[in-house]
A and B are shown apart, each in its own frame.
Chain A
Amino acid sequence: MAEHAIVTEGLRKRYRDTYALDGVDLAVRTGTVHGLLGPNGAGKTTAVRALATLLRYDAGRAEIRGFDVARQPEEVRERIGLTGQYAAVDEQLSGRQNLVMFGRLHKLGRAAAKRRADELLERFRLTEAAGKNAGAYSGGMRRRLDLAASLVRSPEVLFLDEPTTGLDPRSRNDVWDTIRSLVKGGTTVLLTTQYLEEADQLADRISVIDAGRVVAEGTADELKATIGADRVEVVVRDAADLFGVAALISRVCGVEPETDQDTRRVSALVADRVTALTEVVRALHAAGVVVEDIGTRRPTLDEAFLRLTGRRTAEKSVSATGVAR
């Protein structure tokens, strides 16, 4: 068995004068989850669509399980599953009819397709709604059905393009659990997401992608070390207290905090956010300073991008809107 289930080298795709993919290199080990993390328009979806044989790339090389995506698309299609950003199911058919149809298209016999459909319905807690039109399903149910549809033939490689966008926390956890159990069963997953937390929860390794390039790659811990640690933030009631509080935090946490006059905010990077918070609260109380708000904050994807690319994600998503599809 090959070590890597997905390999790309210098993958390029150009739309007019913009590169949606500008030389993407990936190597995803068999049986692991690889996260593609980036803002809208970074090229995540384009990468997935190229790997899933949906669009032709202009240059570079891509292999799935040793099969060349451009030259052997049929072999690739037999080994992959895809769940896109939209629930790609037939809304006029019942959940069960959908799964049977996809089973039949995967060359399962009629009886086998029905059996497989029932198994998947059971596993995704859709048995009760099996006879209802998929169009009448809730967002979470539809996404589960969509995921089930991409698992009809137990794919070796599964592409998940923002699988939890727009889901409530419970459905999101369901999807996460499913992904974890699939990987236990040996499936290789390429997951795109805008959420650092999602990549953190699921991915063995993460490629941060921006403007069609991989700007950083590593485990979640490695990336966090690059991106920066958690923060403790204090908002004071009286702007006059700002520097006093900054000095206090500097003493307690042992780092130089950043202060912002306009928002009356003092924030500091800390290694252990809970301990730091506890100590800051204690010190503030002892000093008798009145604060408006206090809390801890994990680094956001925005901050990650700022650090990795030197730019804000907002700018990126504006300039790259045309490439988003």
Chain B
Amino acid sequence: MADGLTMTRRNMAHLVRTPEEVALYFLLPIMFVLVFGYVFGSGMALPDGGDYREFLLPGVFAMTMLYGLGATGSAVAVDAGRGVIDRFRSMPVARSALLTGRSTADLLRALLETSVLLVCGLLVGWEWHRGVGRALAAVALVLALRVAITWIGIYLGLVVRDPDTVGMIVFPLAFPLTAVSNVFTAPELMPDWLGTVAEWNPLSATVTAIRELFGNPGLGGGGWASDNALLLAIGWPVLLTAIFAPLSVRTYQKQGD
């Protein structure tokens, strides 16, 4: 527990010591909101006639969480590649400390990002319409998604062990996940089979669920996945975490064996 806290503090210290990286970090989601909101938003019509920026914001929340994969993965890969993990493992430190410290720090970081995005969203005319309680529940779902993605990122970093390679892998991994989802457009506008894939995408589950909780437009076209989005928005992160957290811990313990 104490070791985990020390590790969390370590990762938060990184944020403070590398302000330029942090600035870049926040720049990306803000850019997403501005570029997609105004460039695409002007020419994009929603099936139910809602405002595109209202539609887009929940998608950007989820997408920002997904792109956190790169930050988590590279940070872990740096530790793995440089032997920092070896040092931790040769010390009387709780075996889980490094990984739980990482995921806690990333969760705090995600909370910061989400706050920045909320403010940014409010500035471009997005709003929540169903009360603070539901809005907070939506934020909780976004963070749940980030937890699952953190564990995937940790696993990726431990396996790849090289931050540059992680950086190269993340985009081809994350881009189709955001494109074939309901982040930018409604799945019912896609070809049938693609729309089904998009609906079952874990990202879409979170996005549909939080659109509902925020009271934003763009509710799904009535497939099982979109009707049960709330269930899936909890189920997917739980499932992914249940797979990747133990996998990461095992890989961590066997580093360099």
Which chain B positions have C-beta within 8 A of A55? 256-257
A166 to chain B, nearest CB (A): 14
Contact between chains at A93 and B86 (CB < 8 Å): no
Query: Complex Cα distance A82/B92, Å?
Result: 12
- Residue A87 at the chain B interface, CB threshold 8 Å: yes
Closest chain A residue to B5, Cβ basis: A104
Contact between chains at B10 and A101 (CB < 8 Å): yes
B40 to chain A, nearest CB (A): 36
Closest chain B residue to A84, Cβ basis: B83
Interface string of B69-102 (1 = CB under 8 A from A): 0000000001100111011111111000100000
Q: Which of B83, B93, B97, B257 is within 8 Å of A88, CB to CB? A: B83
Q: Which of B18, B90, B92, B255 is within 8 Å of A92, CB to CB? A: B18
Which chain A positions have C-beta within 8 A of B3? 105
Which chain A positions have C-beta within 8 A of B18? 92
Contact between chains at B256 and A325 (CB < 8 Å): yes
- Residue A78 at the chain B interface, CB threshold 8 Å: yes
- Residue A274 at the chain B interface, CB threshold 8 Å: no
Contact between chains at B10 and A54 (CB < 8 Å): no
Query: Complex Cα distance A159/B231, Å?
Result: 52
Contact between chains at B87 and A77 (CB < 8 Å): no
Q: Which of B14, B86, B97 is within 8 Å of A84, CB to CB? A: B86
Which chain A positions have C-beta within 8 A of B84? 88-90
- Residue B6 at the chain A interface, CB threshold 8 Å: yes
Contact between chains at A87 and B82 (CB < 8 Å): yes
Number of interface residues of B (CB under 8 A): 26
Nearest 7 A-B pairs (CB), nearest first?
A: A88-B83, A86-B83, A88-B87, A55-B257, A82-B90, A77-B92, A52-B90
Contact between chains at A78 and B92 (CB < 8 Å): yes
Query: Complex Cα distance A145/B92, Å?
Result: 20
What are 7 of the A-B contact pairs (CB < 8 Å)?
A: A55-B257, A77-B90, A93-B17, A97-B10, A105-B3, A105-B88, A150-B87
- Residue B13 at the chain A interface, CB threshold 8 Å: yes
Query: Complex Cα distance A74/B93, Å?
Result: 9
Contact between chains at B82 and A49 (CB < 8 Å): no
- Residue A106 at the chain B interface, CB threshold 8 Å: yes
Task: Give the contact-size bracket for chain A.
Answer: 20 to 34
- Residue A53 at the chain B interface, CB threshold 8 Å: yes
Query: Complex Cα distance A104/B17, Å?
Result: 19
Q: A54-B255, A81-B90, A84-B87 are in contact. List 9 more A-B contacts (CB 8 A).
A: A54-B257, A77-B91, A78-B92, A88-B84, A94-B17, A101-B10, A102-B91, A149-B87, A150-B87
Query: Complex Cα distance A53/B85, Å?
Result: 13
B22 to chain A, nearest CB (A): 12
Q: Which of B86-140 contact A (CB under 8 A)?
A: 86-93, 97
Query: Complex Cα distance A92/B14, Å?
Result: 6
Which chain B positions have C-beta within 8 A of A105? 3, 6, 88, 91, 93, 97
- Residue A133 at the chain B interface, CB threshold 8 Å: yes
Which chain B positions have C-beta within 8 A of A74? 92
Closest chain A residue to B15, Cβ basis: A92
Query: Complex Cα distance A102/B91, Å?
Result: 9
Query: Complex Cα distance A133/B17, Å?
Result: 8
Q: Which of A275-312 contact B (CB under 8 A)?
A: none
Contact between chains at B10 and A93 (CB < 8 Å): yes
Interface string of A10-54 (1 = CB under 8 A from B): 000000000000000000000000000000000000000100111
- Residue A80 at the chain B interface, CB threshold 8 Å: yes
Which chain B positions have C-beta within 8 A of A80? 90
Which chain B positions have C-beta within 8 A of A123? none
Given A86-B82, A87-B82, A88-B84, the answer on whether A53 and B89 have CB atoms closer than 8 Å is yes
Q: Which of A85-124 contact B (CB under 8 A)?
A: 85-94, 97, 101-102, 104-107
A106 to chain B, nearest CB (A): 7
Which chain A positions have C-beta within 8 A of B90? 52-54, 77, 80-82
Which chain B positions have C-beta within 8 A of A93? 10, 13-14, 17
Which chain B positions have C-beta within 8 A of A87? 82-83
A217 to chain B, nearest CB (A): 25
Which chain A positions have C-beta within 8 A of B82? 86-88, 91
Query: Complex Cα distance A55/B255, Å?
Result: 8
Query: Complex Cα distance A91/B6, Å?
Result: 16
Interface string of B1-32 (1 = CB under 8 A from A): 01100100110011001100000000000000
Which chain B positions have C-beta within 8 A of A52? 86, 90
- Residue A56 at the chain B interface, CB threshold 8 Å: yes
B243 to chain A, nearest CB (A): 25
Closest chain A residue to B87, Cβ basis: A88
Which chain B positions have C-beta within 8 A of A88? 82-84, 86-87
Query: Complex Cα distance A84/B9, Å?
Result: 25
